[in-house]
Amino acid sequence: MTRLSMAAFLMCLAATPVFAQASTSVRAGNLSGTATAGVNNGPTDNDRDHDQQVARGPRTDDTRDCDSRSVTVHNGNSSASASVSTSPGGSSTVAGGGSPGSHTEFFGCDAPHNRSTR
């Protein structure tokens, strides 16, 4: 391979798209939310801990004075996900959605032994 070809090849390698993971976390009052996009190698220990903490009941709508609730959205290939959770008190609602093939799971406050999906 000529020197020029090698240089071009190296430039191509440098231009290879890097599917790095991007993540954003926001918090306000007793709300917290996280969005993650990019290559995902499956749930982390933190994800599992968070999931266990918030898995308390089925999806509900507006409910007052209940335990925390949350929603998580995972795309089929786990490349995009978002989650929102609330802590107890007051009135709270959460909502989630994703592109086709995504999995949305709600955790509510009225039936502590069930989880629901849609």
- Per-residue binding string, another protein, 58-77, x by CB under 8 A, is ----x-x------xxxxxxx
Tokens 């240089």 belong to 7
Tokens 């991007």 belong to 22
Half-sphere exposure of 57 (CA within 13 A, CB side): 14
Largest CA distance in the chain: 72
> Cβ of residue 88: shortest distance to another protein, in angstroms?
10
Q: Site size for another protein, by CB under 8 A?
A: 61
SS3 of 49, please?
A: helix
> Cβ of residue 79: shortest distance to another protein, in angstroms?
4
Name the residues that contact another protein, by CB under 8 A.
1-2, 5, 8-9, 12-13, 15-17, 19-38, 62, 64, 71-77, 79-86, 89-102
